[in-house]
Structure 1
Amino acid sequence: MLAGAAVFVAAVVIAILVTALQAAPASEAATRAAQLSAAQAEPDGQPSAAATGAPGAGAEAQTGTIYVHVIGEVVRPGVVEVKTGTRVESIIHAAGGATDAAVLASLNLAREAVDGEQILVPNAEQAAAAGGALSGASGGPVPDASADGVAGGTGQGGLVNLNTADAALLETLPRVGPALAQRIIDWRESNGPFASVDQLLDVAGIGAKTLDGFRERVTI
């Protein structure tokens, strides 16, 4: 009788030990999962970008792209896709590089390109035409040229092109200062290219009198 009771007690003890050993790994796994979740949380309790897999604002800025139309004296003219903030020099390289006929001195190679613009890499004749239109007797370098062979942002006859001109060029217009020039750029970025000169009246700060003061000096 005593021997049978001893065997029964031993069996119960063994069963308890086996159950405890099986429960331990599950408990340890749960603890590790809780620790990992806490480590991936931000100080304010919100999940971090690493935990959620969502890219941060910095990653978005670094991966942004723009499209630029490169024409003229390059090996592969056409539309190139580059990172936001890419300089004109790198864009020319992306188009296969300049040809032997290119006159790079007429371009601002250090300028950051903007989405949707067109860059003409001119030959000697085109560079001379651009210099005559903008630099006069000085013969100095001129801004980036566009498809019509004169500086980017200007049209035929040296008119300021509302759809391609940068802030500095817009500020050459009568009664257009830095703030108003930026509003013109903001308007076209939000609404697309100007379809007519009269659309400038939709830009805050430009009335009929202001527009009449430089109407003959702008184009689209």
Structure 2
Amino acid sequence: MDDLRTRFAALAAGRPVVLVLVGLLAVAVLGGAVLIGAGQASGSTAERDVVRVVPTTPAPTPLLVHVSGAVRSPGLVSLPVGARVVDAVAAAGGPTSAADESVVNLAARVADGQQVVVPKRGAAPAATAAAGTATGATVSLSSATAEQLETLPRIGPALAARIIAYREAHGGFSSVDELGQVGGIGPKTLAGLRDLVTP
């Protein structure tokens, strides 16, 4: 009987130890799960923070263009990159009632520092030494950029590229008439460009 009591007492004394061990194990498992979850949450937050601090591409510098001639508000206008002559004319208040827009390539892209001249109807093209004006300018066929060539009447990106390809293949232009050898430039286009370009 005493032996049975001793065994029962030992069992009763050991049960709290087992319960404590089970409780500690449960707390450890729960704590580990909480730490893992917190680590994953903080990792995803860190990733989101990294995405937020990635610098964006800076906005391109606007173009400064001088618009003169038969426009309502001649002067300097600021335009976004990729703007065309029609945008420059609109930024200068639009053409006046006397403007002759038929000799201006309104679809040509403008370049920074370019002058856009809108002549009056019946007026002779104004001569200017600055290359790259929209009309009435002398543009050097042997040195003008594609943007400057596109300011000429009837010259778009494709023809400007052909002119540059021709001059690179032939070492420049020796005369304005040689422009007629560029594919896509016929007699009518050449006649319209003759007073606006130099070799």
TM-score norm. by structure 2 comes to 0.50
The 1:168/1:117 distance shift into structure 2, 3 A limit, reads closer
Aligned-residue offset at 1:71: 2.1
Aligned to 2:113: 116
CA contact (8 A) 1:167 1:181 kept: no
Q: 2:149 aligned with 1:166, yes or no?
A: yes
Q: How far apart in 2 are the matches of 1:5 and 1:117?
A: 96
Aligned to 2:124: 129
Q: How far apart in 2 are the matches of 1:163 and 1:92?
A: 22
Q: How far apart in 1 are the matches of 2:117 and 2:19?
A: 92
Q: How far apart in 2 are the matches of 1:91 and 1:84?
A: 12
Q: Mark the runs of 5 or more structure 2 residues left unpaired by the alignment.
A: 1-9, 128-132, 153-162, 179-196
Q: How far apart in 1 are the matches of 2:23 and 2:68?
A: 84
CA contact (8 A) 2:88 2:116 kept: no
Aligned to 2:83: 86
- Partner of 2:64: helix, strand, or coil? strand
Q: 2:87 aligned with 1:97, yes or no?
A: no
Q: How far apart in 2 are the matches of 1:106 and 1:20?
A: 83
Among residues 134, 137, 146, which one is paired with 1:152 in the alignment?
137
- Partner of 1:130: helix, strand, or coil? coil
Aligned-residue offset at 1:180: 5.4
Which letter maps to 1:6? Answer: R
Q: 2:174 aligned with 1:179, yes or no?
A: no
**What are the residue-to-residue correspondences of 1:40-55 with 2, within 5 Å?**
53=54
Query: Bigger relative contact order, structure 1 or 2, given CA contacts below 8 A and separation 6+?
Result: 2
CA contact (8 A) 1:153 1:162 kept: no
**What are the residue-to-residue correspondences of 1:197-216 with 2, within 5 Å?**
205=171
Which letter maps to 1:179? Answer: A
Figure out how many residues of one structure are paired with residues of the other and give that number.
151
CA contact (8 A) 1:153 1:166 kept: no
Which letter maps to 1:144? Answer: A
Which letter maps to 2:171? Answer: G
Aligned-residue offset at 1:30: 4.7
**What are the residue-to-residue correspondences of 1:15-34 with 2, within 5 Å?**
15-28=24-37, 30=39, 33=43
The 1:80/1:110 distance shift into structure 2, 3 A limit, reads same
CA RMSD of aligned residues (A): 4.7
When Rg is computed on C-alpha atoms for both structures, the one with the higher figure is 2
